């Protein structure tokens, strides 16, 4: 069993179902558990879980995205900055237009709450993931 698998799969916010709608933007398997969606407030809240080595493509939101790590260990990186490890309790805030990516480390499951407003523009594939040291 990979590190943190039990913590992620038994997360208080729920493990979710395979993230098939966005699978083409992820390097591996991710799982999505929708928690809240309000079109009037233009906000979506979900628990997103990643298998070890899974990460998403570079992307940006025309609103904010707040990531709150709830279990496991993952990476987050803003374009032009160093990647940072996320562990439970860590928070990352991407302002409107901030290009970034996030996902699990190579040897650990990872889950985060994503609070997202506005739409998402999916961009290029991440090409530095394999250079990162967990």
pLDDT of 1 reads: 67
Per-residue pLDDT of the chain (134 residues; tens, 9 = 90+): 689 999 999 999 999 999 999 999 999 999 999 999 877 888 999 999 999 999 999 999 999 999 999 999 999 999 999 999 999 999 999 999 999 999 999 999 999 999 999 999 999 999 999 999 87
Contact 101, 55 (CB under 8 A): yes
**How far is Cα 2 from Cα 107, in angstroms, rounded to an integer?**
6
pLDDT of 37 reads: 83
DSSP letters, 65-130, are EEEEEEEE-EEEEETTS--EEE-TT-EEEE-TT--EEEEE-TTB-EEEEEEEES-EEE-PPPSSGG
Beta 30-38 vs 65-72: how paired, if at all? unpaired
Q: Domains in the chain and their CATH numbers?
A: 5-101+110-131 (2.60.120.10)
């Amino acid at each position: 069993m990979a590190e943190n698998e039990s913590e992620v799969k038994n997360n208080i916010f729920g493990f979710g179902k395979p993230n098939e709608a966005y699978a083409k933007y992820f390097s591996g398997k991710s799982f999505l558990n929708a928690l809240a969606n309000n079109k009037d407030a233009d906000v979506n809240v979900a628990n997103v879980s990643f298998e070890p080595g899974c990460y998403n493509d570079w992307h940006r939101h025309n609103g904010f995205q707040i990531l709150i790590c709830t279990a496991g260990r993952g990476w987050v990186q803003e374009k032009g900055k160093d990647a940072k490890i996320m562990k439970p309790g860590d928070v990352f805030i991407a302002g409107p237009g901030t290009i970034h990516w996030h996902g699990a480390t190579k040897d650990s499951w990872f889950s985060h709450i994503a609070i997202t407003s506005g739409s998402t523009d999916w961009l290029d594939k991440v090409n530095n993931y394999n250079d990162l040291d967990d």
